[in-house]
Amino acid sequence: MLLNLRETSGPLYRRVYHALKGMIRAGRLGPAARVPSTRALARDLGVSRNTVMLAYEQLAAEGYLVSRQRGATSVVAAASPRLAPVPARPAPAARPAAVSAYARRLTDRLDLSPRPPAVRPGLRYDFRYGRPGVDEFPRVIWRRLLAARARRASADALGYGGPAGHRPLREALGEYLGRARGVMSDPDRILIVNGTQQALDLVARVLLDPGDGAVVEEPHYPGATIPFEAVGARLLRVPVDRGGLDTTTLPPAAQRPRLAYVTPCHQFPTGVIMPLHRRLALLQWAARVGAWVVEDDYVSEFRYEGHPLEALQSLDHDERTIYLGSFSKTLFPALRVGYLVLPRPLVPAFLAAKWAADRFSAPLYQEALAELITSGQYERYLRRAGGRNAGRRRALIEALRRHFGDRVEIAGENTGVHLVVWLNDVRPADLAPAIARAAKAGVGIYSVAPSYAEPPRRAGLLFGYAALTEAEIRAGVRRLAEIL
């Protein structure tokens, strides 16, 4: 028997196994055909008998071979459909799989291919938004907390947890959010989730039915509009001006608005802050039309002049506001811990949705994070990170003004970890080639256009600065000026 062992790779017995199976499936060894003894085939192939025996045992276990009297081995007598020769035929043309309407809406809306990965090789100066600075993260303290929790883990701690999350973390969060952000909560209203994106997905599934209206800011955060559209909601876009969401243009009850997603303390992407009178108007509108307000309070801990503003939720006495946050921008994205502070009537529905999605979030990180907060290490790190980010923000603004002057317009308040920069002498049609040229020179820059439903009339860039040193920021802007 001639077997070609070069067509496959891996252990020798697997190569013998694949070669024999290929002959059987192709019909070159028909039903009931006798195969050589293990000793004879081993001699012909120049391999050990154990190698052939292992291959025969695997083929017999899968129903390809059968051993008969006196040790004779043959192909199974009755040719099953899987053993019949497979005629060669051209590959069928690719056609869409039959999936749900939810999956079709999601795949049509969410195209992951053009989105930049977390790390782009070759970019010496990457201004991508969303990358936090981890150079001063207290790694030693974090490793010690994780190790201690892992050593002390009981049998119960290694089992299934509750969907609401680790209660000591919820208690620590409730105390911290009340003190730092003015959020009204208690542990039973807090739900631990796997980052802001899961929070938004749960909001969409629990609150929106197909055809319902979802108010979103324009420009907007695409991470929110994607799950809303995936469940079949209608996006009701409300313009943003220098005072944030224009509450005078909020839709009436006839348009069935079920929720309004807002970023009042640092609008994404413009960075403007919603003033008090608009916050109150938004809450009054929600109570009047029966809608929920979803407040995404991302990176509001980083405010560089004055104290952080209190959350919109702190003004809500009718429990219409769902407050969400995460540690992706303040600590690191791989932590994947976020939280929702829910109105009491919504708690049972969100707990059920969380259970159905993934039962519960991994407890080890939650336990370590609870201790990081209660020990005061988290807020001490925030103060250090805030000072560091303030310096990097100043370095970015100074470098832009030095190298570009009045060729750019810088937008954004003294909060957050990004700036919007409008290029006055670059046409929107010329922005993509400029971004490509910058990437070839090792500078990563990103258009603000994905945050607009309609392309903006000006060419704008979204500059994240938290992950770069001040020296890198200056050098990156200098190189960018040479390219543009």
Token digits of residue 9? 């790779």
- Tally Cβ neighbours within 10 Å of residue 426: 18
Residue type, 280: L
Q: What's the pTM?
A: 0.82
Q: Assess contact for 273 and 297: CB atoms under 8 A.
A: no
Domain 118-131+386-483 CATH assignment equals 3.10.20.30: no
DSSP E strand boundaries for 194-345 = 213-218, 234-241, 244-245, 257-262, 292-296, 321-326, 338-341
Q: What are the tens digits of pLDDT across the range 96-151?
A: 778 888 888 888 776 654 455 556 677 899 999 888 877 778 788 888 888 988 88
Q: Assess contact for 194 and 361: CB atoms under 8 A.
A: yes
81: phi then psi, degrees, rounded to nearest 5: -55, -35
pLDDT score recorded for residue 87: 57
Domain 139-379 fold is Aspartate Aminotransferase; domain 2 (3.40.640)
Q: What percent of the chain has pLDDT over 90?
A: 59
pLDDT score recorded for residue 332: 87
| Correct CATH for 12-75 of 3.90.25.10, 1.10.10.10, 3.40.50.720, 1.10.1200.10 | 1.10.10.10
Distance from C-alpha of 270 to C-alpha of 410, rounded to nearest angstrom:
10
CA dihedral (24, 30, 31, 33) positive or negative: negative
Question: 54: alpha, beta or left, given left = phi > 0 and alpha = psi -120 to 50?
Answer: alpha
Distance from C-alpha of 459 to C-alpha of 425, rounded to nearest angstrom:
9
Pairing between β-strand 292-296 and β-strand 338-341 as defined by DSSP bridges: unpaired
CA dihedral (19, 21, 26, 31) positive or negative: positive
pLDDT score recorded for residue 416: 83
pLDDT score recorded for residue 90: 65
pLDDT score recorded for residue 98: 85
pLDDT score recorded for residue 110: 66
DSSP E strand boundaries for 30-112 = 34-35, 65-67, 73-75
Distance from C-alpha of 450 to C-alpha of 110, rounded to nearest angstrom:
12
pLDDT score recorded for residue 114: 44
Where are the domains positioned within the chain?
12-75, 118-131+386-483, 139-379
Distance from C-alpha of 74 to C-alpha of 35, rounded to nearest angstrom:
5
Concatenated DSSP letters of 358-392: HSS--HHHHHHHHHHHHTTHHHHHHHHHHHHHHHH
Distance from C-alpha of 170 to C-alpha of 188, rounded to nearest angstrom:
8
Residues with pLDDT less than 50, the chain: 113-114
